[in-house]
Chain A
């Protein structure tokens, strides 16, 4: 990819630069293929007929709440669970009947699963020694990878002598040291505090850049998924409900579930009154106005739909704006000052509660609005999304 390619991409994110966007190329060969995968535990369906392609050098995030089947999917890739039906291919090889110890996959466990009776260096060298690698090579590889995760100075410690962040680095080093084609990470940053999480996120991306491994990350944390991933697969009730780049998932959620799961969102119910190819108008009792959206949808006339509106895309003002469409009136019920931004809860005339965030671009922003103020909420026609499901 050339620099001009990058620049031409409107949603270019410098943090996810290493991955060439193979998934945008319909002819590209996928690296991991889930082909109609279903997993049942007795009569409970944990994973329901999932088909999904993941490409080389991706950092793919499986995002979902607990019980959504994301961990089961990961465990099937590692070989700890067998699918009830369907095929899993890794690099073109069908994984059916291949036990975990013969798969080209390593996993970083949520609990880290470091061997408590072994030192850091022996934990990391464990997998290499099982391959029968010469002791000198093991030592060198272990040292290199520990230096990379900045744990070289603690190589002789036991896991219980390390902090949570240090253990996490060791677990990462242990899963990387065998240079797997595919690295699976189960809630990799779950046990870390916020500051450490952020540092580690960037570190993970650097490592991926350096080693060119394909990552599949399971997480319930949408913020983690947004920063890490090249693509996100949102899971719910054993199904993948939407797959897309973080930007697409956030800006163009395909369903109310996804819109609500990723970030916070206001949903306004209404009936379609104008349905053109490139614009939609919706009469909404919730909003008390006509909602105007500049993209087409496929729906029946007068169908009830929802308009998803992100809190940060709403303007708040004391004076009536010129526009009558996409403009609501309400009373401020609650204000939360969060430093960089303020969050308002506005009660509309219809009784509907709307969440609005405003960046505090001036120091006295907080003082401009107060409780019980009557305010107007308005937004542009390209700020909201119509959802039919």
Chain B
């Protein structure tokens, strides 16, 4: 082995110690430059707004522009600066069970729709990964094709499909399966349909990525050792696809928890999701501090399970 420069050696040792973040720590200037671009982007468009929201969550609602009290007051005569941290928003979040219900309901809807997306997406990803040449390309582009139209438009299309005199009801009646239109729009069912439809590509693509790389002789080896194909699926394919499963689930679960448009358009008044609550606080009640507190708590609620999953996958990959 040729002699390594010192920083590379340090990087290697750290990598071997499984300090994953060090893989991203730039030990050479070129790397640093490349990484600094997304880093800068995230800092400006994610981290700073987050700090602003965090700040606002400690203000009180006010009839003013902007509609909240300022944290700092400066008395020029007395040279007296005060920092007022109002914790009432958070206290109210805990006191009023409405918010807790909204969080729980969001997580429930997100969890159920993630599972449905996984069950629907896995066979699709599997089929795409196993098909050859141009067929695979066509199937893959079919998965990506919906992104070419506006998300909002697609949700409206579902409204047309699911409404009382919509396509689905008409068809079911024509087939004689139902006598009168079923109420589908403005139910949880419509919300699940919309979410699963919208987020399916986010599940399929990471699954496809892992399944496509999988060595098919492993399946043959399992069958050779006495595995029925169903067994070999659960004993070999699924464990090996785990990184893709976790990635897909996170890609679906996280945005769905905060989803606003789909429950607002397809869901009924009783479909409680935190994204809607947040929007209502912000626009109807014009209570920016409360909305900010809701957003901060949502972030905390989401970050914890993600960190847990990240750790699990990280361990899986390092073994």
In the complex, the answer to whether B223 meets A100 with C-beta atoms within 8 Å is: yes
CB contacts under 8 Å to B, within A350-382, are none
Q: Mark B254-275, 1 if CB is under 8 A from A, else 0.
A: 0000000000000000000000
Q: How far is the CB of B220 from chain A (nearest CB, A)?
A: 6
Q: Mark B297-308, 1 if CB is under 8 A from A, else 0.
A: 000000000000
A-chain residues with CB within 8 Å of residue B224 when the two chains form the complex: 78, 100-101, 105-107, 175
Contact of B225 among A79, A111, A116, A178 (CB under 8 A): A178
A-chain residues with CB within 8 Å of residue B221 when the two chains form the complex: 107, 109, 113-115
A-chain residues with CB within 8 Å of residue B218 when the two chains form the complex: 113, 115-116
Q: How far is the CB of A177 from chain B (nearest CB, A)?
A: 9
Contact of B227 among A78, A80, A116, A130 (CB under 8 A): A130
In the complex, the answer to whether B225 meets A174 with C-beta atoms within 8 Å is: yes
In the complex, the answer to whether B228 meets A100 with C-beta atoms within 8 Å is: no
Q: How far is the CB of B82 from chain A (nearest CB, A)?
A: 59
Q: Is A126's CB within 8 Å of the partner chain B? A: yes
Residue of B nearest to A160 (CB): B319
Contact status of A113 and B220, CB under 8 A, knowing A106-B225, A127-B225, A174-B225: yes
CB contacts under 8 Å to A, within B305-319, are 319
CA–CA, A153 to B223, complex, Å? 28
In the complex, the answer to whether A101 meets B223 with C-beta atoms within 8 Å is: yes
Best-buried of A79, A111, A126 by chain B (most CB within 10 Å): A126
Contact of A126 among B215, B220, B225, B242 (CB under 8 A): B225
B-chain residues with CB within 8 Å of residue A199 when the two chains form the complex: none
Q: How far is the CB of A215 from chain B (nearest CB, A)?
A: 15
B-chain residues with CB within 8 Å of residue A117 when the two chains form the complex: 239-240, 242, 319
In the complex, the answer to whether A130 meets B217 with C-beta atoms within 8 Å is: no
Q: Mark B238-249, 1 if CB is under 8 A from A, else 0.
A: 011010000000
Number of residues on chain A facing chain B (CB within 8 A): 25
Q: Mark B157-198, 1 if CB is under 8 A from A, else 0.
A: 000000000000000000000000000000000000000000
Q: How far is the CB of A304 from chain B (nearest CB, A)?
A: 47
Q: Mark B210-237, 1 if CB is under 8 A from A, else 0.
A: 0000010110111111111001000110
Classify chain B's interface size. 10 to 19
CB contacts under 8 Å to B, within A87-122, are 99-102, 105-107, 109, 111, 113-117
CA–CA, A80 to B217, complex, Å? 10
Residue of B nearest to A126 (CB): B225
A-chain residues with CB within 8 Å of residue B239 when the two chains form the complex: 117
B-chain residues with CB within 8 Å of residue A106 when the two chains form the complex: 224-225
In the complex, the answer to whether A130 meets B226 with C-beta atoms within 8 Å is: yes
A-chain residues with CB within 8 Å of residue B225 when the two chains form the complex: 101, 106, 126-127, 130, 174, 178
Q: Mark A140-175, 1 if CB is under 8 A from B, else 0.
A: 000000000000000000100000000000000011
A-chain residues with CB within 8 Å of residue B240 when the two chains form the complex: 116-117
Residue of A nearest to B239 (CB): A117
In the complex, the answer to whether A100 meets B220 with C-beta atoms within 8 Å is: yes
Q: How far is the CB of A184 from chain B (nearest CB, A)?
A: 9
A-chain residues with CB within 8 Å of residue B319 when the two chains form the complex: 117, 158
CA–CA, A114 to B242, complex, Å? 17
Q: How far is the CB of A175 from chain B (nearest CB, A)?
A: 8
Residue of B nearest to A100 (CB): B223
In the complex, the answer to whether B217 meets A111 with C-beta atoms within 8 Å is: yes
In the complex, the answer to whether A113 meets B227 with C-beta atoms within 8 Å is: no
Q: Is A131's CB within 8 Å of the partner chain B? A: yes
A-chain residues with CB within 8 Å of residue B242 when the two chains form the complex: 117
Contact of B217 among A109, A126, A158, A174 (CB under 8 A): A109
Residue of B nearest to A117 (CB): B239
B-chain residues with CB within 8 Å of residue A79 when the two chains form the complex: 223
Residue of B nearest to A78 (CB): B224
In the complex, the answer to whether B215 meets A130 with C-beta atoms within 8 Å is: no
- A-B contact sample (11 more), CB < 8 A, given A80-B220, A99-B223: A78-B224, A101-B225, A102-B226, A113-B218, A113-B220, A115-B218, A115-B221, A126-B235, A127-B225, A131-B226, A178-B226
Question: Which chain A residues have a beta carbon within 8 Å of chain B's beta carbons?
Answer: 78-80, 99-102, 105-107, 109, 111, 113-117, 126-127, 130-131, 158, 174-175, 178
A-B contact pairs, 12 of them (CB 8 A): A78-B224, A80-B223, A101-B223, A101-B227, A105-B224, A107-B221, A109-B217, A113-B221, A126-B222, A127-B225, A130-B227, A130-B231
Question: Which chain B residues have a beta carbon within 8 Å of chain A's beta carbons?
Answer: 215, 217-218, 220-228, 231, 235-236, 239-240, 242, 319
| A-B CB proximity, top 7 nearest | A127-B225, A113-B221, A130-B226, A113-B217, A100-B223, A117-B239, A107-B224
